[in-house]
A and B are shown apart, each in its own frame.
Chain A
Amino acid sequence: MADFIFWIIWALIVASAALVAFGNNLIHSVFALMGTFLGVAGIYIFLNADFLAVTQIVVYVGGILVLLIFGIMLTNKISTAQISQSSVQKGLGVAVVLSILAIILTSVLPHDWTGSLEPMAFEDTVEGIGILLFTDYLILFEIASVLLLGALIGAATLARKEL
């Protein structure tokens, strides 16, 4: 059963990501992106990453996606739910991206990553992440706060009418 759900989610992610990449309607793409994000959250659950799954939903779906939708709506004169979009250099793009995919797969898959190691099932990651965040990763954490502040100020400054 779990296996079945996993592959469903797997397929959902690939399909929705493909829609993002190839779709002609920008609005559809955005909603497909939401599917991808939710699917990735599901993948996190299979990987025992409960905290990340929740964060994924809150930040990506609740935050970034909304931002993207705002971005679309602010930059188009909307009359219907149809915002067509087009692509450039499709042929070259497909060729290059496929070759890169091939390179990745051929270099990653043959390698035996796990050896005899058993996958580890984390019980509860929140506590561990919290401890790591305030011990080993404290400086990174602080820098991240500064970065966020910088992004906040930067975004606010850039978005003003008169720059």
Chain B
Amino acid sequence: MDHLNSYLVLSAILFSLGLYTVVTRRNAVAILMGVELILNAANINFVAFSKFVTHNLDGHLISVFIIMLAAAEAAVALAIILNLYNDRGHINVDEANALKQ
């Protein structure tokens, strides 16, 4: 617990799992969950570097802003998902391929 690498490995695994969720899930809400995982992974990195390397609170500040950003993003993304649902009756991202035409 007093070694930076344990945090970095945790963060990397969390990031990978988040990335996998984003890439493979069909459900839009699940993708959103993956995004939250990625953001959390980043936050852990920031705070860990703050403690072990830079020795100041800048990392914490960035984390605060990321959390705020995540909240805003979740709100807007959910609004979009609701619209998608109203429009199509489902929220499967792989079927939302109107861009192809």
Q: Which A positions have Cβ atoms within 8 angstroms of B?
A: 2-3, 6-7, 10, 13-14, 17-18, 20-21, 26, 29-30, 33, 36-37, 40, 43-44, 46-49, 51-52, 55-56, 59-60, 63-64, 67-68, 70-72, 74-75, 85-90, 93-94, 96-98, 100-101, 104-105, 108-109, 113-114, 117, 119-122, 125, 128-129, 132-133, 137, 140, 144, 147-148, 150-152, 154-159, 161, 163
Interface of A is mostly: helix
Say which size band chain B's interface belongs to.
35 or more
Known contacts A21-B17, A88-B26, A154-B79; is-contact A148 B68 (Cβ 8 Å): yes
Query: Are B34 and A21 in touch, CB under 8 angstroms?
Result: yes
Query: Are A108 and B44 in touch, CB under 8 angstroms?
Result: no
Q: Which B positions have Cβ atoms within 8 angstroms of A?
A: 1-2, 4-10, 12-21, 23-30, 32-34, 36-37, 40, 43-44, 47-53, 55, 57-58, 60-61, 63-65, 67-76, 78-83, 85-86, 90-91, 94
